[in-house]
């Protein structure tokens, strides 16, 4: 067995009995997840894949969608226009915080917190809500390599209970931070969050980001290479809720997590990694996901600032590996 496959199996075995964490419950539909679901996937930029556990279990992408929609807004409007509407400062506040939305704030802090993500979604261009949704789905389809679907029960569940997100949108409208029809922007935001993916999909999506926008397994150009640097930068500084600083310090790779228990991580020029396990810690990050990624980063020297020899070990292990092609 290849060294990467065997390490993934070890990690899966090591953490499958870890029972800390709780399912997200503020979106009622998310409580239906099985806390035992646990999958780990790696897709390398040269097209090898390694999978263990529940990598074909579907779940809703939730906040991980913010990364890709940000990329789309950048492609639709360019960096300067997007920066005027959504900043790139980490907040250290919870993802659903309202406290920085006031008269004095010119724009939401960054596209990874909900306020910034709703503002980002409101920038997606298209004639009417159907065209905007279709454009968004087409973008995700390029990343996934097949048709994608919105999970309607989760969409409706969040739409019916997302008062906090609705409040943010109203505040932003009041302060002139977003324009247009906010009900439509919120619907599109709830739809993007309710998109169904698997861990296998997420690793491929991460690998496309690691590979300058081209999916290594399908060869499809999912995103323009022009904005990958911007996308990875906000993931690095803001992607892991209010654990983002500690994550950057300990694990050191751009990543984004979501409340359904997925974490997507990008090792630039090397690989995409995804872990899916629904129980979350108090910051909203998957408990098993954090442990697996911290161990993988340490084992293969993946931290971007690990300048020791360790940095090459992932590459060496890949040379010795023969993953699924
Ligand atoms: N749809 C969720 C919300 O807006 C996404 C949250 C998340 O995954 O962080 O609350």
CATH fold for domain 3-62+196-319: Beta-lactamase (3.40.710)
Q: For the chain, where do the domains classified as CATH 3.40.710.10 start and end?
A: 3-62+196-319, 63-193
Q: Provide the 8-state DSSP code for 214.
A: B
| CB-based pocket (< 6 A), ligand 1 | 62-63, 95-96, 114, 158, 165, 193, 258-259, 284
Instruction: Tell me the CA–centroid distance for residue 212 and ligand 1, in Å.
Output: 26
Report pLDDT for 314: 63
> What's the CATH number for 63-193?
3.40.710.10
| Distance between CA atoms of residues 261 and 278, nearest Å | 4
The model's pLDDT over 70-88, given as tens digits with 9 standing for 90+, comes to 999 999 999 999 999 999 9
| Distance between CA atoms of residues 83 and 78, nearest Å | 9
Instruction: Tell me the CA–centroid distance for residue 258 and ligand 1, in Å.
Output: 7
Report pLDDT for 320: 67
Indicate the pTM of the whole model: 0.94
| Distance between CA atoms of residues 300 and 4, nearest Å | 10
The model's pLDDT over 194-248, given as tens digits with 9 standing for 90+, comes to 999 999 999 999 999 999 999 999 999 999 999 999 999 999 999 999 999 999 9
For residue 10, give the H/E element and its range: helix 3-15
Report pLDDT for 59: 98
Q: Which atom of ligand 1 is nearest to the CA of 259?
A: 8
If one residue of 26, 27, 97, 239 were mutated to test the ligand 1 pocket, choosing by the most ligand atoms within 8 A of its CB, it would be 27
pLDDT < 70: residue spans in the chain: 99, 309-322, 324-325
Instruction: Tell me the CA–centroid distance for residue 93 and ligand 1, in Å.
Output: 14
């Amino acid at each position: 067995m290849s060294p990467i496959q065997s390490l993934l199996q070890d990690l899966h075995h090591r953490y499958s009995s870890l029972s800390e964490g709780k399912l997200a419950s503020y979106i009622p539909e998310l409580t239906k997840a099985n806390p035992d679901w646990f999958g780990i996937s790696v897709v390398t930029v040269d097209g090898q894949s390694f999978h263990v556990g529940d990598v074909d279990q579907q779940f809703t992408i939730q906040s991980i969608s913010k990364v890709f929609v940000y990329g789309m807004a950048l492609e639709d409007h360019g960096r300067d226009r997007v920066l005027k509407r959504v900043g790139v400062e980490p907040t250290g506040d919870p993802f659903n915080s309202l406290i920085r939305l006031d008269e004095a704030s010119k724009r939401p802090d960054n596209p990874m917190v909900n306020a910034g993500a709703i503002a980002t979604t409101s920038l997606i261009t298209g004639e009417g809500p159907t065209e905007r949704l279709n454009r968004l789905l087409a973008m995700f389809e390029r990343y996934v390599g097949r048709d994608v679907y919105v999970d309607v029960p989760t969409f409706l569940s969040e739409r019916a209970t997302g008062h906090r997100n609705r409040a943010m949108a109203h505040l932003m409208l009041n302060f002139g931070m977003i324009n247009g029809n906010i009900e439509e922007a919120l619907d599109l935001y709830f739809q993007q969050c309710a998109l169904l993916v698997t861990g296998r999909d997420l690793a491929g999506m991460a690998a496309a980001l690691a590979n300058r926008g081209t999916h290594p397994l399908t060869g499809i150009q999912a995103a323009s290479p022009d904005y990958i640097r911007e996308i990875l930068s906000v993931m690095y500084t803001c992607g892991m809720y209010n654990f983002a600083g500690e994550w950057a310090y300990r694990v050191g790779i751009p990543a984004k997590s979501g409340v359904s228990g997925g974490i997507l991580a990008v090792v630039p020029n090397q690989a995409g990694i995804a872990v899916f396990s629904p129980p979350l810690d108090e910051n909203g990050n998957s408990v098993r996901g954090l442990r697996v990624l911290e161990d993988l980063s340490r084992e293969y020297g993946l931290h971007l600032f690990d300048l020791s020899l360790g940095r090459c070990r992932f590459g060496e292990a890949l040379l010795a590996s023969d993953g699924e092609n």
